Structure 1
Amino acid sequence: MKLVAVSSCPTGIAHTYMAAEALEQAGKAVGIEVHVETQGAAGSTPLDPQLIADADGVIYAADLEVKDKDRFAGKPFVDVGVKKAVHDAPGVIAAAVAAVEAGVPAPVAGAAPIAAPATKVDRNAGVGTRIRQWLMTGVSYMIPFVAAGGILIALGFMVAQFAGGSDGVIAVTKVPVSHLLNDFSVASGMDWAALLFQTGAVAFGFLVPVLSGFIAYGIADRPGLVPGFVGGAVSVAVGAGFLGGLVTGFMAGFLALWISRWKVAKGVRGIMPVVVIPLLSSFVVGLVMFVVIGQPIASLMDGLSSWLNGLSGSNLILLGALLGAMMGFDLGGPINKVAYTFAVTGLATEGLGTDAVQYRIMAAVMAAGMVAPLAMALASSARKKLFTHAEQENGKAAWLLGLSFISEGAIPFAAADPWRVILSSLVGSSVTGAIVMGVGSAQRAPHGGVWVLPLISNPFGFLMAVAVGMVITAALVVVLKSAKPNPIVQAEQAVDEQQELVAQTV
């Protein structure tokens, strides 16, 4: 039997590729040929049409709408979330085989290729799940702007420090755009620093409108984009920041959805999506933000920023420990994403100084998110006898995933042994978050792990915090697993010993 699959996750970074690997390996284990198209953040390479033609069935391991789904018309299929493929790839393969044997065709003949941004929200899910999915739609499209803008700004500060000394970092923020337009000098390090800074600042400026726009898109589809972006821009204009963007995203989405469901005359239907819906919804969102709730939300943002910047000493360390524990709890799940979103959106706060607490929060969250996969890699290589052969292989990949700040690299270990791995991860990640706050490391880039180490202040303290958390987590896992060995591991060891004995005898 031959299967093809498509994998995608909201951020398009980790689960997309882990699901692909898991499906291919699970298929190989039972003699089924599986080819996966990853529709991730880096784009995708479409499956060869001949592979699709030869396939007996299709697996959609996707949290986003699958692009060009009409290619698979008529093929039996199963449609599961990407996490299902990561956690239970053999079960997904078995379900696909059952679908093939039952001959259930995919009802997508004649479907048009998707030209709009993609999202996948389960309309039948509970309210809490749908809110999280709407929010993650906005966050997933926002992250590239934050990453590009944050890294460019940080690079600008680095160049400014080399070119202008200790005063260069402050000076680069005061270089006017008109200077770059009229007097830019290729030989001037400060001009290059200003160019990097200004470009990053422009990219960063899209953060709130994109967050708001794609939350609204997740709720109302295309009709939500215009009022969502307008609401986000108004939030920036009135100083409401990312909190305002969250509010306008949901407001615009529900308003556009409501207007799009109006029963109107046939002659008006054609102009509804291009004139009526964007016009009315944008006006109402602007009215509410400018006149009613914009100022209160801006005051709340000012209060939040003042509170964060007023934290010091033990309070900062406790905050770091809490955020670290959240990052280490569900390894890319909802709680992990809450901590990460809190850190990322904090970067968009207006008027941050170069040593603002928000940058320290980002560093603490990133360091803590690196701990679990690195610890599992360390433990599975140092004490191989406590882990299955599959876990030992996953451990090799977890080194790179951990160094790249992809917490999901620890998921295969947590899925196989939840309480030991999660408990250990909680302890080690919280320690790391606390240490990062204590040593004062700060980070403007929201992703990258060790690959953006030059952009982190006090990088040695950052690395020390990660190393300490990694060792603590790995040690706890080893101790807990040693107390009660895994029967599967024991069975594998018995087989290995028997095979070795047979080999020696021969």
Structure 2
Amino acid sequence: MTQKKAKTENKIWTVVQKHLMTATGYMIPFVVAGGIIFAIAVMLNGHSQPTTGLLGKLAQIGSAGLALFIPALGGYLAYSIADRPGLAPGFITAYLAVQIKSGFIGGIIGGLLAGIIVNWLKKIKLSSNYKVLGSIFLYPLGGTLLAGGIMVFIIGAPIAGFMNYLTDILNGMKGAARIPLGILMGSMIGIDMGGPINKVACTFAQTQVDTLPFLMGIMGPSVCTMPIGLGISTFLFKKKYSPAESDAGKAAILMGLCGISEGAIPFATADPIRVIVGNTIGSAVAGAIAAWTGTVSHAPWGGLIVLPVVGNIGGYLLAVVAGSLVTAIIVGLWKKEYVEQDSNLTDDADIDLNIEEF
């Protein structure tokens, strides 16, 4: 019975994780577009939000993207669960979560609620004449009323209280007290290079960029140490890597500078254990240093392209360099020396192969 329950729970989590990944993929463009435009306006104004003139208008454009990303998260989460009829209820319920100040957790719960409720409504049998009416009227209307009502009257305020409590705790962490958080976030970011665990940590930091910019100060260096570190490793330990991997190392450094952790994936595919361990430790070191030095970032992205909007650039760069070198050295020392295959031997083997023996 216990094993059956565990299997059911694992299946439910797998399904939820799939929908969350879909929704996050749709949400990220809102975060990137809005956050970077807003950060540029803040940078040009001198690290304070402009309210007038050209920079004020630029900040207004960026703020629109940042205002929409939680509704987008909830909307596309409901869309992933219930298809197009879930889109409007998900957006509206997640928007209500923002209004109640229940944050991205409220947005996620709102999207899940809307998707589940609309899926339930879709089980109501309608005659063929009314099926179209159901998709554009019954399901969106019923889903919005039920999910929105639950958010406004029942769960919104408790979630908002929890988010305020969490924000106060994180805001109260200073100096060395932030190091464990930096290690945890860095490890989560490094362990699967853009996968679901990475996305949890990154999304948490990105959704708090306006209230807790030190979280982005941790995420920014942690995201880029993996590809940069592996690229450096191909230069420091040339005999350990194939020519193809050496070429991939150059591309990985460029991707790392742009905050794209997926540049490390080709190395992990070829040598998963060594690369994942090296990535995780290196990103954890970067996160710990960034947390310890009090680094903050006002852009919901990583890499060195966000340096103009980073507070404590020295701490940020130290975290990137230290984390990258740790990854480079761990993977480089641990790897076996690359041995090139003898093409002649392969050709001989092909010639001697007798299909009739099979």
Does the alignment reach a TM-score above 0.5?
yes
Q: Residue 240 of structure 1 aligns with which residue?
A: 102
CA distance in 1, matches of 2:99, 2:261: 35
- Of 179, 184, 189, the residue aligned with 1:322 is 184
- Of 61, 67, 81, the residue aligned with 1:205 is 67
CA distance in 2, matches of 1:158, 1:203: 17
Q: Is the 8 A contact 2:187 2:280 kept in 1?
A: yes
- Of 280, 289, 292, the residue aligned with 1:426 is 280
Q: How does 1:84-483 map to 2 (within 5 A)?
A: 126-161=11-46, 169=48, 172=50, 175=51, 190-347=52-209, 352=211, 358-447=212-301, 449-481=303-335
Q: Residue 43 of structure 1 aligns with which residue?
A: none
Q: Residue 7 of structure 2 aligns with which residue?
A: none
Q: CA deviation at 1:374?
A: 0.9
Deviations 1:48-103 (A, max 9, x none): xxxxxxxxxxxxxxxxxxxxxxxxxxxxxxxxxxxxxxxxxxxxxxxxxxxxxxxx
CA distance in 2, matches of 1:469, 1:265: 61
CA distance in 2, matches of 1:126, 1:389: 42
CA distance in 2, matches of 1:234, 1:275: 20
Q: Is the 8 A contact 1:379 1:474 kept in 2?
A: yes
CA distance in 1, matches of 2:63, 2:29: 14
CA distance in 2, matches of 1:298, 1:242: 10
Q: Is the 8 A contact 2:182 2:290 kept in 1?
A: yes
Q: CA deviation at 1:448?
A: 5.2
Q: CA deviation at 1:363?
A: 2.3
CA distance in 2, matches of 1:267, 1:373: 56
Which amino acid letter does the alignment assign opposite residue 324 of structure 1?
G
CA distance in 2, matches of 1:314, 1:464: 16
CA distance in 1, matches of 2:98, 2:265: 37
Unaligned runs of 5+ residues in structure 1 are 1-124, 162-167, 176-189, 353-357, 497-506
Q: CA deviation at 1:495?
A: 7.3
| Greater fraction of residues in helix | 2
Q: Is the 8 A contact 2:190 2:279 kept in 1?
A: yes
Q: CA deviation at 1:468?
A: 1.1
Q: Is the 8 A contact 1:146 1:445 kept in 2?
A: no
CA distance in 2, matches of 1:243, 1:427: 28
Q: Structure with the greater relative contact order (CA < 8 A, sep ≥ 6): 1 or 2?
A: 2
Which amino acid letter does the alignment assign opposite residue 112 of structure 2?
F
Partner secondary structure for residue 206 of structure 1: helix
CA distance in 2, matches of 1:315, 1:153: 30
Q: How does 1:34-45 map to 2 (within 5 A)?
A: none
Partner secondary structure for residue 342 of structure 1: helix
Unaligned runs of 5+ residues in structure 2 are 1-9, 345-358
Larger radius of gyration: 1
Q: CA deviation at 1:199?
A: 2.1
User: Aligned-residue CA RMSD in angstroms?
Assistant: 2.0
Q: Is the 8 A contact 1:425 1:473 kept in 2?
A: yes
Partner secondary structure for residue 339 of structure 2: helix
Partner secondary structure for residue 339 of structure 1: helix
Q: Residue 76 of structure 1 aligns with which residue?
A: none
Q: Calculate percent identity across the aligned residue pairs.
A: 39
CA distance in 1, matches of 2:65, 2:192: 31
Deviations 1:142-185 (A, max 9, x none): 11111222222222222322xxxxxx826x3xx4xxxxxxxxxx
CA distance in 2, matches of 1:147, 1:491: 42
Alpha carbons of 1:240 and 1:153: their partners in 2 closer, same or farther (altered >3 Å)?
A: same
Q: Is the 8 A contact 1:159 1:192 kept in 2?
A: no
Please identify, of 225-234 and 470-479, the stretch whose mean Cα deviation from structure 2 is larger.
470-479
CA distance in 2, matches of 1:246, 1:147: 19
Partner secondary structure for residue 250 of structure 1: helix
Which amino acid letter does the alignment assign opposite residue 293 of structure 1?
I
Which amino acid letter does the alignment assign opposite residue 395 of structure 1?
G
Which amino acid letter does the alignment assign opposite residue 219 of structure 1?
I
CA distance in 2, matches of 1:418, 1:202: 40
Deviations 1:459-491 (A, max 9, x none): 23212210111112111222212xxx25xx224
Partner secondary structure for residue 126 of structure 1: helix
